[in-house]
Amino acid sequence: MGRLAEPRWVRNLLIGVTLLFLGSFLLLPLVVVFTEALRNGLAAYLASFSEPDALAAIRLTLLAAGIAVPVNCVFGLAASWAIAKFEFPGKAVLISLIDLPFAISPVISGMVYVLVFGLQGWLGPWLAEREMRIIFAVPGVVLATMFVTLPYVARELIPLMQEQGIEEEEAAAVLGASGWQTFRRVTLPNVKWALLYGVILCNARAMGEFGAVSVVSGHIRGLTNTMPLHIEILYNEYNFVAAFAVASLLALLALVTLAAKSVVERRMRQEEAQ
Amino acid sequence: MARRRILPGFGITLGYSVLYLSLIVLIPLAALFLRVTGSSWEQFWDAVSAPRAIAAYKLTFAASFAGAAVNAVFGFIVAWTLVRYRFPGKRVLDAIIDLPFALPTAVSGIALTAIYSRNGWVGRYLERAGIESAFSPLGVTIALTFVGLPFVVRTLQPALEDLDPGMEEAAATLGAGRWQTFRRVILPSLLPALITGFALAFARALGEYGSVVFISGNMPFRTEIASLLIVAKLEQYDYTGAASIGVLMLLASFLMLLAINALQHWVGSRYGRTA
Protein backbone atom coordinates (compact mmCIF):
# COMPACT_ATOMS: atom_id res chain seq x y z
CA MET A 1 0.00 0.00 0.00
CA GLY A 2 3.00 2.28 0.48
CA ARG A 3 3.03 2.91 -3.23
CA LEU A 4 -0.49 4.33 -3.19
CA ALA A 5 0.29 7.11 -0.74
CA GLU A 6 2.92 9.78 -0.55
CA PRO A 7 5.66 9.46 2.06
CA ARG A 8 4.82 11.22 5.31
CA TRP A 9 7.30 14.03 4.72
CA VAL A 10 5.76 14.86 1.32
CA ARG A 11 2.33 14.87 2.89
CA ASN A 12 3.42 17.21 5.67
CA LEU A 13 5.25 19.45 3.23
CA LEU A 14 2.17 19.79 1.01
CA ILE A 15 -0.09 20.49 4.00
CA GLY A 16 2.46 23.05 5.19
CA VAL A 17 2.54 24.77 1.80
CA THR A 18 -1.28 24.84 1.73
CA LEU A 19 -1.49 26.38 5.19
CA LEU A 20 1.20 28.94 4.38
CA PHE A 21 -0.31 29.91 1.03
CA LEU A 22 -3.90 30.20 2.26
CA GLY A 23 -2.74 31.82 5.48
CA SER A 24 -0.79 34.55 3.74
CA PHE A 25 -3.19 35.11 0.85
CA LEU A 26 -6.60 34.68 2.50
CA LEU A 27 -6.38 34.85 6.28
CA LEU A 28 -3.84 37.65 6.54
CA PRO A 29 -5.96 40.18 4.58
CA LEU A 30 -8.96 39.35 6.78
CA VAL A 31 -6.95 39.77 9.97
CA VAL A 32 -5.51 43.05 8.67
CA VAL A 33 -8.97 44.51 8.02
CA PHE A 34 -10.13 43.96 11.60
CA THR A 35 -6.81 44.89 13.23
CA GLU A 36 -6.50 48.14 11.32
CA ALA A 37 -10.14 48.99 12.04
CA LEU A 38 -9.59 48.53 15.77
CA ARG A 39 -6.15 50.17 15.82
CA ASN A 40 -7.36 53.17 17.84
CA GLY A 41 -9.69 51.21 20.06
CA LEU A 42 -13.33 50.30 20.04
CA ALA A 43 -14.57 53.87 20.60
CA ALA A 44 -12.83 55.18 17.48
CA TYR A 45 -14.10 52.16 15.56
CA LEU A 46 -17.71 52.77 16.54
CA ALA A 47 -17.37 56.52 15.96
CA SER A 48 -16.66 55.79 12.28
CA PHE A 49 -20.22 54.61 11.88
CA SER A 50 -21.90 57.65 13.40
CA GLU A 51 -20.48 59.87 10.70
CA PRO A 52 -23.34 61.03 8.40
CA ASP A 53 -21.47 60.23 5.15
CA ALA A 54 -20.78 56.69 6.34
CA LEU A 55 -24.44 56.24 7.23
CA ALA A 56 -25.51 57.61 3.85
CA ALA A 57 -23.13 55.15 2.14
CA ILE A 58 -24.58 52.25 4.13
CA ARG A 59 -28.10 53.36 3.23
CA LEU A 60 -27.29 53.61 -0.48
CA THR A 61 -25.65 50.17 -0.48
CA LEU A 62 -28.74 48.69 1.16
CA LEU A 63 -30.97 50.49 -1.35
CA ALA A 64 -28.99 49.29 -4.40
CA ALA A 65 -28.90 45.70 -3.14
CA GLY A 66 -32.54 45.98 -2.02
CA ILE A 67 -33.56 46.74 -5.60
CA ALA A 68 -31.05 44.69 -7.58
CA VAL A 69 -31.46 41.41 -5.66
CA PRO A 70 -35.28 41.06 -5.87
CA VAL A 71 -35.38 42.28 -9.48
CA ASN A 72 -32.70 39.80 -10.55
CA CYS A 73 -34.42 37.13 -8.51
CA VAL A 74 -37.64 37.62 -10.51
CA PHE A 75 -35.60 37.65 -13.71
CA GLY A 76 -33.81 34.45 -12.71
CA LEU A 77 -37.10 32.68 -11.99
CA ALA A 78 -38.71 33.86 -15.22
CA ALA A 79 -35.70 33.01 -17.39
CA SER A 80 -35.21 29.57 -15.85
CA TRP A 81 -38.92 28.76 -16.23
CA ALA A 82 -38.83 29.62 -19.92
CA ILE A 83 -35.48 27.91 -20.54
CA ALA A 84 -35.96 24.75 -18.47
CA LYS A 85 -39.61 23.97 -19.12
CA PHE A 86 -39.93 24.76 -22.84
CA GLU A 87 -38.11 24.13 -26.09
CA PHE A 88 -37.44 27.07 -28.39
CA PRO A 89 -34.83 28.06 -30.97
CA GLY A 90 -31.96 30.21 -29.72
CA LYS A 91 -32.04 28.77 -26.22
CA ALA A 92 -28.29 28.15 -26.04
CA VAL A 93 -27.66 31.72 -27.18
CA LEU A 94 -29.98 33.08 -24.50
CA ILE A 95 -28.18 31.07 -21.81
CA SER A 96 -24.80 32.46 -22.91
CA LEU A 97 -26.18 36.01 -23.07
CA ILE A 98 -27.40 35.71 -19.47
CA ASP A 99 -23.84 34.84 -18.42
CA LEU A 100 -22.45 37.80 -20.34
CA PRO A 101 -22.10 40.20 -17.36
CA PHE A 102 -19.67 37.72 -15.76
CA ALA A 103 -17.37 38.00 -18.76
CA ILE A 104 -17.38 41.79 -18.82
CA SER A 105 -14.91 43.79 -16.77
CA PRO A 106 -16.67 45.81 -14.02
CA VAL A 107 -15.28 49.05 -15.39
CA ILE A 108 -16.78 48.33 -18.82
CA SER A 109 -20.11 47.41 -17.19
CA GLY A 110 -20.26 50.88 -15.70
CA MET A 111 -18.99 52.58 -18.83
CA VAL A 112 -21.81 51.26 -21.04
CA TYR A 113 -24.31 53.22 -18.92
CA VAL A 114 -22.20 56.36 -19.17
CA LEU A 115 -22.34 55.95 -22.95
CA VAL A 116 -26.14 55.62 -22.86
CA PHE A 117 -27.16 58.09 -20.16
CA GLY A 118 -24.09 60.35 -19.76
CA LEU A 119 -24.11 63.93 -21.02
CA GLN A 120 -22.34 62.89 -24.22
CA GLY A 121 -24.34 59.68 -24.42
CA TRP A 122 -27.39 58.61 -26.46
CA LEU A 123 -30.03 59.85 -24.04
CA GLY A 124 -27.87 62.47 -22.29
CA PRO A 125 -29.24 65.60 -24.01
CA TRP A 126 -32.84 64.37 -23.70
CA LEU A 127 -32.39 63.71 -19.97
CA ALA A 128 -30.60 67.03 -19.44
CA GLU A 129 -33.51 68.94 -21.00
CA ARG A 130 -35.82 67.38 -18.46
CA GLU A 131 -33.32 67.88 -15.63
CA MET A 132 -33.16 64.16 -14.99
CA ARG A 133 -29.90 62.55 -13.95
CA ILE A 134 -29.01 58.91 -14.12
CA ILE A 135 -25.23 59.07 -14.32
CA PHE A 136 -23.55 60.58 -11.25
CA ALA A 137 -26.82 59.95 -9.43
CA VAL A 138 -28.55 57.16 -7.52
CA PRO A 139 -30.33 55.54 -10.54
CA GLY A 140 -26.95 54.95 -12.23
CA VAL A 141 -25.63 53.23 -9.12
CA VAL A 142 -28.70 50.98 -8.99
CA LEU A 143 -28.50 50.18 -12.73
CA ALA A 144 -24.81 49.29 -12.57
CA THR A 145 -25.50 47.04 -9.58
CA MET A 146 -28.32 45.33 -11.49
CA PHE A 147 -26.02 44.76 -14.48
CA VAL A 148 -23.21 43.04 -12.59
CA THR A 149 -25.53 40.88 -10.47
CA LEU A 150 -27.92 39.85 -13.26
CA PRO A 151 -26.68 36.26 -13.82
CA TYR A 152 -26.34 35.02 -10.22
CA VAL A 153 -29.85 33.66 -9.55
CA ALA A 154 -30.52 32.55 -13.14
CA ARG A 155 -27.31 30.55 -13.45
CA GLU A 156 -28.07 28.59 -10.27
CA LEU A 157 -31.65 27.83 -11.29
CA ILE A 158 -31.32 27.02 -15.00
CA PRO A 159 -29.17 23.83 -14.79
CA LEU A 160 -31.08 22.53 -11.77
CA MET A 161 -34.53 23.08 -13.33
CA GLN A 162 -33.34 21.58 -16.62
CA GLU A 163 -32.22 18.51 -14.74
CA GLN A 164 -35.52 18.25 -12.87
CA GLY A 165 -37.51 18.20 -16.10
CA ILE A 166 -41.22 18.89 -16.37
CA GLU A 167 -42.92 15.68 -15.25
CA GLU A 168 -43.93 16.99 -11.82
CA GLU A 169 -45.27 20.25 -13.23
CA GLU A 170 -47.18 18.42 -15.94
CA ALA A 171 -48.73 16.11 -13.36
CA ALA A 172 -49.84 19.13 -11.33
CA ALA A 173 -51.28 20.79 -14.42
CA VAL A 174 -53.14 17.64 -15.44
CA LEU A 175 -54.61 17.44 -11.93
CA GLY A 176 -56.03 20.89 -12.48
CA ALA A 177 -53.53 23.22 -10.82
CA SER A 178 -53.22 26.67 -12.32
CA GLY A 179 -49.86 27.85 -13.64
CA TRP A 180 -49.20 29.95 -10.57
CA GLN A 181 -50.20 27.11 -8.21
CA THR A 182 -47.93 24.71 -10.09
CA PHE A 183 -45.04 27.12 -9.80
CA ARG A 184 -45.61 27.88 -6.11
CA ARG A 185 -46.41 24.38 -4.89
CA VAL A 186 -44.23 22.23 -7.16
CA THR A 187 -41.40 24.17 -8.79
CA LEU A 188 -40.49 26.56 -6.00
CA PRO A 189 -40.08 23.90 -3.26
CA ASN A 190 -37.91 21.88 -5.66
CA VAL A 191 -35.49 24.72 -6.28
CA LYS A 192 -35.60 26.60 -2.97
CA TRP A 193 -32.01 25.87 -1.93
CA ALA A 194 -30.57 26.78 -5.30
CA LEU A 195 -32.65 29.95 -5.26
CA LEU A 196 -31.36 30.85 -1.80
CA TYR A 197 -27.82 30.09 -2.95
CA GLY A 198 -28.19 32.43 -5.90
CA VAL A 199 -29.69 35.16 -3.72
CA ILE A 200 -26.79 34.92 -1.22
CA LEU A 201 -24.18 35.30 -3.98
CA CYS A 202 -26.19 38.00 -5.73
CA ASN A 203 -26.47 40.00 -2.54
CA ALA A 204 -22.76 39.72 -1.72
CA ARG A 205 -21.84 41.03 -5.13
CA ALA A 206 -24.50 43.76 -5.05
CA MET A 207 -23.25 45.13 -1.74
CA GLY A 208 -19.58 44.79 -2.64
CA GLU A 209 -19.45 45.95 -6.26
CA PHE A 210 -16.82 48.59 -6.80
CA GLY A 211 -15.62 49.06 -10.38
CA ALA A 212 -18.95 49.38 -12.18
CA VAL A 213 -20.49 51.57 -9.51
CA SER A 214 -17.36 53.70 -9.28
CA VAL A 215 -17.62 54.67 -12.96
CA VAL A 216 -21.26 55.81 -12.79
CA SER A 217 -21.41 57.26 -9.28
CA GLY A 218 -19.43 60.48 -9.56
CA HIS A 219 -18.32 60.00 -5.93
CA ILE A 220 -20.57 62.61 -4.40
CA ARG A 221 -20.21 62.27 -0.63
CA GLY A 222 -23.41 61.54 1.20
CA LEU A 223 -25.31 61.19 -2.07
CA THR A 224 -23.91 58.67 -4.56
CA ASN A 225 -21.31 56.84 -2.51
CA THR A 226 -21.87 53.20 -1.68
CA MET A 227 -19.87 51.53 1.09
CA PRO A 228 -17.05 50.34 -1.19
CA LEU A 229 -16.78 53.82 -2.73
CA HIS A 230 -16.81 55.42 0.70
CA ILE A 231 -13.93 53.15 1.68
CA GLU A 232 -11.94 54.45 -1.28
CA ILE A 233 -12.55 58.10 -0.34
CA LEU A 234 -11.63 57.57 3.30
CA TYR A 235 -8.54 55.63 2.30
CA ASN A 236 -7.37 58.30 -0.13
CA GLU A 237 -7.83 60.88 2.63
CA TYR A 238 -5.48 58.79 4.82
CA ASN A 239 -8.37 58.19 7.20
CA PHE A 240 -7.31 54.57 7.55
CA VAL A 241 -9.18 53.66 10.72
CA ALA A 242 -12.52 54.82 9.28
CA ALA A 243 -11.78 53.17 5.92
CA PHE A 244 -11.03 49.84 7.58
CA ALA A 245 -14.01 50.23 9.90
CA VAL A 246 -16.39 50.41 6.93
CA ALA A 247 -14.37 47.64 5.27
CA SER A 248 -14.81 45.47 8.35
CA LEU A 249 -18.59 45.57 7.88
CA LEU A 250 -18.20 44.30 4.33
CA ALA A 251 -15.68 41.70 5.48
CA LEU A 252 -18.23 40.49 8.04
CA LEU A 253 -20.79 40.31 5.25
CA ALA A 254 -18.33 38.21 3.23
CA LEU A 255 -17.80 35.82 6.16
CA VAL A 256 -21.55 35.48 6.71
CA THR A 257 -21.92 34.86 2.96
CA LEU A 258 -19.31 32.09 3.02
CA ALA A 259 -20.89 30.47 6.07
CA ALA A 260 -24.40 30.63 4.58
CA LYS A 261 -23.03 29.33 1.30
CA SER A 262 -21.49 26.23 2.86
CA VAL A 263 -24.66 25.52 4.86
CA VAL A 264 -26.79 25.75 1.71
CA GLU A 265 -24.28 23.68 -0.27
CA ARG A 266 -24.54 20.92 2.33
CA ARG A 267 -28.35 21.06 2.16
CA MET A 268 -28.27 20.82 -1.62
CA ARG A 269 -25.97 17.81 -1.49
CA GLN A 270 -28.25 16.12 1.06
CA GLU A 271 -31.27 16.75 -1.13
CA GLU A 272 -29.44 15.43 -4.17
CA ALA A 273 -28.50 12.27 -2.28
CA GLN A 274 -32.12 11.58 -1.35
CA MET B 1 -45.75 21.93 -29.12
CA ALA B 2 -47.66 19.53 -26.87
CA ARG B 3 -45.65 20.70 -23.90
CA ARG B 4 -46.59 24.28 -24.41
CA ARG B 5 -50.23 23.46 -24.19
CA ILE B 6 -49.89 21.80 -20.81
CA LEU B 7 -47.59 24.20 -18.95
CA PRO B 8 -48.50 27.88 -19.11
CA GLY B 9 -46.34 30.97 -18.89
CA PHE B 10 -43.96 30.44 -21.78
CA GLY B 11 -44.72 33.67 -23.61
CA ILE B 12 -44.64 35.94 -20.60
CA THR B 13 -41.53 34.49 -18.94
CA LEU B 14 -39.51 34.39 -22.15
CA GLY B 15 -40.74 37.82 -23.20
CA TYR B 16 -39.91 39.34 -19.84
CA SER B 17 -36.47 37.69 -19.71
CA VAL B 18 -35.49 38.86 -23.16
CA LEU B 19 -36.84 42.37 -22.55
CA TYR B 20 -35.06 42.75 -19.21
CA LEU B 21 -31.81 41.31 -20.54
CA SER B 22 -31.97 43.64 -23.53
CA LEU B 23 -32.64 46.75 -21.46
CA ILE B 24 -30.04 46.07 -18.80
CA VAL B 25 -27.25 44.37 -20.75
CA LEU B 26 -27.62 44.13 -24.51
CA ILE B 27 -28.69 47.66 -25.49
CA PRO B 28 -26.14 49.40 -23.22
CA LEU B 29 -23.48 47.04 -24.56
CA ALA B 30 -24.51 47.92 -28.09
CA ALA B 31 -23.92 51.57 -27.15
CA LEU B 32 -20.29 50.68 -26.46
CA PHE B 33 -19.77 49.04 -29.85
CA LEU B 34 -21.67 51.77 -31.71
CA ARG B 35 -19.55 54.39 -30.00
CA VAL B 36 -16.46 52.72 -31.43
CA THR B 37 -17.86 51.99 -34.90
CA GLY B 38 -19.21 55.55 -35.00
CA SER B 39 -15.74 57.00 -34.57
CA SER B 40 -13.17 56.97 -37.34
CA TRP B 41 -10.59 54.23 -37.72
CA GLU B 42 -7.80 56.71 -36.92
CA GLN B 43 -9.46 57.68 -33.64
CA PHE B 44 -9.82 54.03 -32.69
CA TRP B 45 -6.27 53.20 -33.70
CA ASP B 46 -4.80 56.24 -31.93
CA ALA B 47 -6.57 55.28 -28.72
CA VAL B 48 -5.68 51.59 -28.70
CA SER B 49 -2.12 51.90 -29.98
CA ALA B 50 -0.95 54.85 -27.84
CA PRO B 51 2.27 53.98 -25.99
CA ARG B 52 0.49 54.42 -22.66
CA ALA B 53 -2.20 51.93 -23.74
CA ILE B 54 0.38 49.43 -25.00
CA ALA B 55 2.19 49.64 -21.67
CA ALA B 56 -1.12 49.04 -19.90
CA TYR B 57 -1.93 45.93 -21.99
CA LYS B 58 1.55 44.53 -21.42
CA LEU B 59 1.24 44.92 -17.67
CA THR B 60 -2.34 43.62 -17.60
CA PHE B 61 -1.54 40.49 -19.57
CA ALA B 62 1.81 39.81 -17.90
CA ALA B 63 0.52 40.30 -14.35
CA SER B 64 -2.67 38.32 -15.07
CA PHE B 65 -0.59 35.51 -16.54
CA ALA B 66 1.83 35.52 -13.62
CA GLY B 67 -1.04 35.55 -11.11
CA ALA B 68 -2.80 32.67 -12.87
CA ALA B 69 0.49 30.73 -13.02
CA VAL B 70 1.09 31.16 -9.27
CA ASN B 71 -2.48 29.98 -8.71
CA ALA B 72 -1.99 26.98 -10.99
CA VAL B 73 0.97 25.79 -8.90
CA PHE B 74 -0.29 26.58 -5.42
CA GLY B 75 -3.94 25.97 -6.29
CA PHE B 76 -2.95 22.46 -7.35
CA ILE B 77 -1.24 21.81 -4.03
CA VAL B 78 -4.19 23.29 -2.10
CA ALA B 79 -6.77 21.24 -4.02
CA TRP B 80 -4.66 18.11 -3.60
CA THR B 81 -4.30 18.44 0.18
CA LEU B 82 -7.96 19.44 0.63
CA VAL B 83 -9.20 16.40 -1.30
CA ARG B 84 -6.68 13.75 -0.25
CA TYR B 85 -5.41 14.52 3.24
CA ARG B 86 -7.01 14.98 6.61
CA PHE B 87 -5.77 17.68 8.90
CA PRO B 88 -7.25 19.98 11.53
CA GLY B 89 -8.97 23.10 10.17
CA LYS B 90 -9.60 21.54 6.78
CA ARG B 91 -13.33 22.32 6.66
CA VAL B 92 -12.75 25.99 7.50
CA LEU B 93 -10.00 26.30 4.90
CA ASP B 94 -12.22 24.69 2.29
CA ALA B 95 -15.00 27.19 3.00
CA ILE B 96 -12.63 30.15 2.98
CA ILE B 97 -11.23 29.37 -0.49
CA ASP B 98 -14.12 31.41 -1.93
CA LEU B 99 -13.20 34.48 0.10
CA PRO B 100 -11.90 36.37 -2.97
CA PHE B 101 -15.35 35.91 -4.55
CA ALA B 102 -17.18 37.06 -1.43
CA LEU B 103 -14.91 39.86 -0.23
CA PRO B 104 -15.63 43.15 -2.01
CA THR B 105 -12.66 44.08 -4.17
CA ALA B 106 -12.26 47.46 -2.46
CA VAL B 107 -11.79 45.67 0.87
CA SER B 108 -9.23 43.25 -0.48
CA GLY B 109 -7.55 46.18 -2.22
CA ILE B 110 -6.95 48.23 0.91
CA ALA B 111 -6.10 45.13 2.96
CA LEU B 112 -3.45 44.00 0.48
CA THR B 113 -2.05 47.52 0.33
CA ALA B 114 -1.81 47.61 4.13
CA ILE B 115 0.08 44.31 4.03
CA TYR B 116 2.51 45.12 1.23
CA SER B 117 3.12 48.86 1.52
CA ARG B 118 6.53 50.05 2.72
CA ASN B 119 5.63 49.96 6.41
CA GLY B 120 3.05 47.19 6.03
CA TRP B 121 2.91 43.82 7.73
CA VAL B 122 4.89 42.01 5.05
CA GLY B 123 6.03 44.95 2.96
CA ARG B 124 8.51 46.15 5.57
CA TYR B 125 10.41 42.86 5.40
CA LEU B 126 10.33 42.84 1.62
CA GLU B 127 11.55 46.44 1.69
CA ARG B 128 14.51 45.40 3.81
CA ALA B 129 15.30 42.71 1.27
CA GLY B 130 15.22 45.38 -1.42
CA ILE B 131 11.91 44.24 -2.94
CA GLU B 132 9.30 46.87 -3.69
CA SER B 133 5.89 45.16 -3.55
CA ALA B 134 3.08 47.73 -3.29
CA PHE B 135 3.05 50.44 -5.97
CA SER B 136 5.01 48.22 -8.35
CA PRO B 137 4.12 45.59 -10.98
CA LEU B 138 4.68 43.00 -8.24
CA GLY B 139 1.86 44.57 -6.24
CA VAL B 140 -0.46 44.31 -9.25
CA THR B 141 0.48 40.64 -9.58
CA ILE B 142 -0.21 40.00 -5.90
CA ALA B 143 -3.70 41.51 -6.20
CA LEU B 144 -4.47 39.51 -9.35
CA THR B 145 -3.24 36.33 -7.67
CA PHE B 146 -5.66 37.00 -4.82
CA VAL B 147 -8.71 37.49 -7.05
CA GLY B 148 -7.92 34.40 -9.17
CA LEU B 149 -7.19 32.07 -6.27
CA PRO B 150 -10.54 30.21 -6.08
CA PHE B 151 -10.71 29.29 -9.78
CA VAL B 152 -7.92 26.71 -9.96
CA VAL B 153 -8.81 25.12 -6.61
CA ARG B 154 -12.52 24.93 -7.42
CA THR B 155 -12.06 23.42 -10.90
CA LEU B 156 -9.48 20.89 -9.67
CA GLN B 157 -11.37 19.67 -6.59
CA PRO B 158 -14.18 17.83 -8.45
CA ALA B 159 -11.70 16.44 -10.99
CA LEU B 160 -9.55 15.08 -8.17
CA GLU B 161 -12.57 13.57 -6.44
CA ASP B 162 -13.66 11.86 -9.68
CA LEU B 163 -10.23 10.36 -10.30
CA ASP B 164 -10.51 6.59 -10.60
CA PRO B 165 -8.43 5.01 -7.79
CA GLY B 166 -8.18 1.88 -9.92
CA MET B 167 -5.77 3.61 -12.28
CA GLU B 168 -3.39 4.48 -9.47
CA GLU B 169 -3.62 0.98 -8.08
CA ALA B 170 -2.92 -0.46 -11.52
CA ALA B 171 0.12 1.79 -11.92
CA ALA B 172 1.40 0.78 -8.49
CA THR B 173 0.87 -2.93 -9.15
CA LEU B 174 2.75 -2.58 -12.41
CA GLY B 175 5.70 -1.31 -10.41
CA ALA B 176 5.44 2.45 -10.76
CA GLY B 177 6.74 4.54 -7.87
CA ARG B 178 4.49 7.16 -6.35
CA TRP B 179 6.16 10.01 -8.24
CA GLN B 180 5.96 8.10 -11.51
CA THR B 181 2.28 7.38 -10.93
CA PHE B 182 1.69 11.03 -10.22
CA ARG B 183 3.54 12.26 -13.28
CA ARG B 184 2.35 9.66 -15.77
CA VAL B 185 -1.16 8.83 -14.54
CA ILE B 186 -2.59 11.46 -12.20
CA LEU B 187 -1.23 14.66 -13.71
CA PRO B 188 -2.28 13.94 -17.33
CA SER B 189 -5.87 13.24 -16.29
CA LEU B 190 -5.99 16.44 -14.23
CA LEU B 191 -4.37 18.59 -16.90
CA PRO B 192 -7.61 19.70 -18.64
CA ALA B 193 -9.11 20.87 -15.32
CA LEU B 194 -5.85 22.58 -14.40
CA ILE B 195 -5.73 24.46 -17.70
CA THR B 196 -9.40 25.43 -17.37
CA GLY B 197 -8.81 26.80 -13.88
CA PHE B 198 -5.76 28.68 -15.10
CA ALA B 199 -7.71 30.19 -18.00
CA LEU B 200 -10.60 31.23 -15.73
CA ALA B 201 -8.21 32.92 -13.29
CA PHE B 202 -6.44 34.62 -16.18
CA ALA B 203 -9.71 35.86 -17.72
CA ARG B 204 -10.94 37.19 -14.38
CA ALA B 205 -7.66 39.03 -13.81
CA LEU B 206 -7.78 40.76 -17.21
CA GLY B 207 -10.82 42.83 -16.20
CA GLU B 208 -10.03 43.33 -12.51
CA TYR B 209 -10.16 46.84 -11.12
CA GLY B 210 -11.03 47.26 -7.43
CA SER B 211 -8.35 45.17 -5.80
CA VAL B 212 -5.63 46.63 -8.04
CA VAL B 213 -6.47 50.33 -7.85
CA PHE B 214 -5.10 50.73 -4.30
CA ILE B 215 -1.99 48.58 -4.42
CA SER B 216 -0.79 49.65 -7.86
CA GLY B 217 -0.38 53.39 -7.30
CA ASN B 218 -1.75 53.91 -10.85
CA MET B 219 1.40 55.28 -12.44
CA PRO B 220 1.03 55.49 -16.24
CA PHE B 221 3.61 53.34 -18.11
CA ARG B 222 4.53 51.54 -14.89
CA THR B 223 1.64 50.25 -12.80
CA GLU B 224 -1.43 51.27 -14.79
CA ILE B 225 -3.54 48.31 -15.93
CA ALA B 226 -6.08 48.50 -18.77
CA SER B 227 -9.12 48.98 -16.48
CA LEU B 228 -7.40 51.90 -14.76
CA LEU B 229 -6.59 53.48 -18.10
CA ILE B 230 -10.25 53.22 -19.13
CA VAL B 231 -11.31 54.99 -15.92
CA ALA B 232 -8.63 57.66 -16.44
CA LYS B 233 -9.97 58.29 -19.95
CA LEU B 234 -13.56 58.48 -18.70
CA GLU B 235 -12.53 61.00 -16.06
CA GLN B 236 -11.08 63.17 -18.84
CA TYR B 237 -14.35 62.76 -20.77
CA ASP B 238 -12.47 60.94 -23.54
CA TYR B 239 -15.41 58.58 -24.07
CA THR B 240 -14.32 57.36 -27.49
CA GLY B 241 -10.83 56.52 -26.25
CA ALA B 242 -12.25 54.72 -23.23
CA ALA B 243 -14.75 52.81 -25.39
CA SER B 244 -12.04 51.81 -27.89
CA ILE B 245 -9.81 50.29 -25.22
CA GLY B 246 -12.89 48.76 -23.60
CA VAL B 247 -13.90 47.03 -26.83
CA LEU B 248 -10.39 45.69 -27.33
CA MET B 249 -10.24 44.27 -23.79
CA LEU B 250 -13.77 42.88 -24.19
CA LEU B 251 -12.77 41.05 -27.37
CA ALA B 252 -9.74 39.64 -25.54
CA SER B 253 -11.88 38.27 -22.74
CA PHE B 254 -14.46 36.86 -25.17
CA LEU B 255 -11.65 35.02 -26.94
CA MET B 256 -10.55 33.65 -23.58
CA LEU B 257 -14.11 32.57 -22.89
CA LEU B 258 -14.37 30.78 -26.23
CA ALA B 259 -11.09 29.02 -25.50
CA ILE B 260 -12.37 27.98 -22.07
CA ASN B 261 -15.60 26.63 -23.58
CA ALA B 262 -13.65 24.64 -26.16
CA LEU B 263 -11.48 23.34 -23.34
CA GLN B 264 -14.44 22.26 -21.28
CA HIS B 265 -15.87 20.53 -24.31
CA TRP B 266 -12.58 18.71 -24.67
CA VAL B 267 -12.60 17.81 -20.96
CA GLY B 268 -16.16 16.55 -21.31
CA SER B 269 -15.32 14.32 -24.24
CA ARG B 270 -12.26 12.99 -22.43
CA TYR B 271 -14.26 12.08 -19.36
CA GLY B 272 -16.92 10.64 -21.64
CA ARG B 273 -14.37 8.31 -23.16
CA THR B 274 -12.89 7.09 -19.90
CA ALA B 275 -16.28 6.50 -18.30
Rounded Cα distance between B68 and B146, Å, is: 10
Long-range contacts of B228-235 (CB under 8 A, 24+ apart): B228/B56, B229/B52, B229/B53, B229/B56, B230/A107, B230/A108, B230/A111, B231/A107, B231/A214, B231/A215, B233/B47, B234/A111, B234/A114, B234/A215
Per the CB < 8 A criterion, the answer to whether A136 and A224 are in contact is yes
Q: How far is A257 from chain B (nearest CA, A)?
A: 7
Q: How far apart are CA A231 and CA A241, in angstroms?
A: 10
Q: Which chain B residue is nearest to residue A32, measuring alpha carbons?
A: B111
What's the rounded Cα separation, in Å, for the pair A123 and A117?
Answer: 5
Task: Give the per-residue pLDDT at B271.
Answer: 58
CB A81 within 8 A of CB B9: yes
- How many CA atoms are closer than 13 Å to the CA of A137, on its beta-carbon side? 11
First to last CA, chain B: 35
Give residue limits of the domains in chain B: 59-221
Does residue A13 carry a pLDDT above 60? yes
Instruction: Specify the pLDDT at position A3.
Output: 62
Q: What is the ipTM of this complex?
A: 0.93
Give residue B5's pLDDT.
Answer: 57
pLDDT of residue B2: 45
**What does the pLDDT look like over B21-54, one tens digit per residue?**
999 999 999 999 999 998 899 999 999 999 999 9
By Cβ distance, the residue of A18, A100, A174 closest to B25 is A100
**Per-residue model confidence as pLDDT tens digits over A53-86:** 999 999 999 999 999 999 999 999 999 999 999 9
Chain A positions touching B209 (Cβ under 8 A) are 105-107, 210-211, 214
Contact list, A147 vs chain B (CB under 8 Å): 24-25, 28
Average of pLDDT values for A143-163?
96
What is the pLDDT at residue A140? 96
Please check the confidence at residue B167 and state whether its pLDDT lies above 90.
no
Give me the pLDDT at residue B166, please.
Answer: 87
Amino acid (1-letter code) at residue B53? A
Q: Which residues on A lie below 8 Å from B99 (Cβ)?
A: 26, 30, 254, 258
Question: Which pLDDT score is estimated for B1?
Answer: 44
What's the rounded mean pLDDT across residues A178-207?
94
Q: Which of A269, A24, A101, A13 is nearest to B96 (CA)?
A: A24
Q: Provide φ and ψ at B80, rounded to 5°.
A: -60, -50
Residue that wins the pLDDT comparison between A222 and B212? B212
Q: Which residues have C-beta within 8 Å of that of residue B140, sequence separation ≥ 6? A: B59, B63, B212, B215, B216, B223, B225
Cα distance between residue B48 and residue B37, in whole Å: 14
C-alpha distances in Å from residue B202, one per residue of A230, B153, B169, B195: 29, 14, 35, 10
Q: Considering only CB atoms, which chain A residues are within 8 Å of B89?
A: 19
> What length is written for chain A?
274
Kindly state whether A25 is in contact with chain B, defined as any CB-CB distance less than 8 angstroms. yes
**Chain A residues in contact with B143 (beta carbon < 8 A):** none
pLDDT for A1? 44
Strands (E), chain B: none
Task: Find out whether A18 and B81 touch, Cβ atoms under 8 Å.
Answer: yes
Which of these, A154, A172, A162, lies nearest to A85 by C-alpha position? A162
Give me the sign of the Cα torsion angle B77, B80, B85, B90: positive
pLDDT band at B177 (very low <50, low <70, confident <90, very high): confident
Q: What is the residue-averaged pLDDT of chain B?
A: 91
Q: Name the residue in chain B with its Cα closest to that of A72.
A: B20
CATH code 1.10.3720.10 for B59-221: yes
CB contact under 8 A, B77 and A18: yes
Position A19, amino acid: L
